[in-house]
Amino acid sequence: QVQLVESGGGLVQAGGSLRLSCAASGRTLTGIVMGWFRQAPGKERQFVAAIRWSIGSTYYADSVKGRFTISRDDAKNTVYLQMNRLTPEDTAVYYCAGGSIVVVNTAARYAYWGQGTQVTVSS
């Protein structure tokens, strides 16, 4: 299996930026999809972004296009989520996930999950 550990969350003012990191261990990530999801209190888990590890193809939810960027460091087995121009609606627990999947925006298809990191954006 793959174990995932997120970091980089925190409190930031609207308009600010954060970079989340997800470090993976257990095996190499070649051949799988790595993604970011978020969940606010009382709401369903929402797809944010994903990357196909081997080829680097990226996917984004409409709500974050142009503001967030997902990237990878193959040597470090780490995926990043650069979040710019944050708004209060971005406040949520952000989860890193991975799996061998086709539909990248469906949480149920991901096999591996981190514990989450809190992102809070103040107005």
Tens-digit pLDDT profile for residues 16-60 = 999 999 999 877 777 789 999 999 999 999 999 999 988 899 999
Q: How far apart are CA 58 and CA 71, in angstroms?
A: 8
Tens-digit pLDDT profile for residues 78-105 = 999 999 999 999 999 999 999 987 789 9
Contact assessment for residue 13 and residue 84, using Cβ atoms and an 8 Å cutoff: no
pLDDT of residue 30: 77
Residues 6+ apart with CB under 8 A from 43: 92
- Max mean pLDDT range (50-59, 61-70, 72-81): 61-70
Residues 6+ apart with CB under 8 A from 123: 14, 88
pLDDT of residue 54: 87
Contact assessment for residue 84 and residue 67, using Cβ atoms and an 8 Å cutoff: yes
> Could you tell me the pLDDT band of residue 1, with boundaries at 50, 70 and 90?
confident
What is the b/e burial string over 103-114, where b = at least 16 CB atoms within 10 angstroms of the residue's CB?
A: ebbebeebebbb
